[in-house]
Amino acid sequence: MTFPIRIGTRRSALALTQSGMMQRAIAAAMGVPEADIATAVPLVEIVTTGDRVQDRRLLEIGGKALFTKEIEEALIDGRVDVAVHSMKDVPAEQPPGLCIAAVPEREDPRDAFVSEAFASFADLPEGARLGTASLRRQAQALALRPDLRIEMLRGNVDTRLRRLAEGDFDAILLATAGLNRLGRADVIRERLSLDQFLPAPGQGALALQTREPGTGAAWVAALDHPLTALAVAAERGAMTALEGSCRSAIGAHATRADGRLLLTAELLSPDGTARWRRSGDLGDVTATDVMSAAHTMGLAVGRQIHDAAGDQRIDL
């Protein structure tokens, strides 16, 4: 890949922060002087449908692919050379001709509890108003606290924090990774348990998407973090088996321990009254085909959940 390397990004503050991180990392890997970064690795801002429509849940307007569709079209058309996405927004299947070339090291994958008045999720009073647009977070919160009033909250991080400060909600749930990257970790009252609030598949990770074959780019090896990529492959395998989208309440998280890859995944009914969870593990994480094996293990775990849910399985 020759210069310029054009990075397609959404226009939100978080997207620009994340893309700016990758812009500097790609420039460093390619030996670009700091003064030349903006010219050699420019950011191309693209407004997506998901950004334009803020008054409805994503499941009502087409799902989370609406955060990636226009950027992927720019990749396919050759208007940009690499796209930076939040991995949790990337649909299970890649469009023809595109691939995930690199997965940088993951940030904290946990959900964050943010409130003006309450120190923790457990401290919320009966009937408290909890803001989130995530079906997964809604279902997990209601599984623990069916008394809560879940209210729809979309918009960028600043908009969500402003609405909380104005009293629209008693608390809101956000991704810890995004708050960390924005330098807003100070607003977090509690980092929620990975057991009770199993994250979305890929949460905290970024996806660097290119035209195929993306692995040939000189910067890929420098930015790709093999252990994060491996964990994400397993999580997205489970998501694929469960037909994961904004229409399904799905959590999945994989970690490495004692040379093994451990995956936990779950499916919940939107009201939190039903929850199906399964785990799996992968032995030799140094095998040459380990990425494929991790994805296959994730698929198997997802299918176990699918089979366990059976006719009770609820997709909106």
DSSP per-residue letters across 147-158: T-EEE---S-HH
User: What pLDDT is attached to residue 64?
Assistant: 57
Residues comprising the chain, all counted: 316
C-alpha–C-alpha distance, residues 130 and 233, integer Å:
31
The answer to whether the beta carbons of residues 111 and 199 sit under 8 Å apart is yes
Peptide bond into 33 cis (omega under 30): no
C-alpha–C-alpha distance, residues 13 and 183, integer Å:
11
Residues designated as active site: 89
Diameter of the chain measured on Cα atoms: 59
User: What pLDDT is attached to residue 316?
Assistant: 40
In the chain the domains, ranked by start, together with CATH numbers, are: 1-103+205-224 (3.40.190.10), 111-191 (3.40.190.10), 225-308 (3.30.160.40)
Coil, strand or helix at 276: strand
Lookup: tokens for 90: 């990337």
- DSSP-assigned letters across all residues of 5-18: -PEEE-SSHHHHHH
User: What pLDDT is attached to residue 122?
Assistant: 98
Lookup: tokens for 200: 């979305």
User: What pLDDT is attached to residue 67?
Assistant: 74
What pTM does this model have?
Answer: 0.92
Coil, strand or helix at 237: helix
C-alpha–C-alpha distance, residues 70 and 48, integer Å:
6
C-alpha–C-alpha distance, residues 235 and 46, integer Å:
28
Torsion angles phi and psi, residue 280, rounded to 5: -150, 165
pLDDT string in tens for the chain (316-residue length): 688 999 999 999 999 999 999 999 999 999 999 999 999 999 999 987 666 555 555 555 455 567 788 999 999 999 999 999 999 989 888 999 999 999 999 999 999 999 999 999 999 999 999 999 999 999 999 999 999 999 999 889 999 999 999 999 999 999 999 999 999 999 999 999 999 999 999 999 999 999 998 777 889 989 999 999 999 999 999 999 997 555 679 999 999 988 899 999 999 999 999 999 999 999 877 666 899 999 999 999 999 999 999 866 544 4
Q: Rg for the chain (alpha carbons), in Å?
A: 19
Q: Cα angle vertex 290, ends 98, 296, to 5°? A: 75
C-alpha–C-alpha distance, residues 283 and 149, integer Å:
43
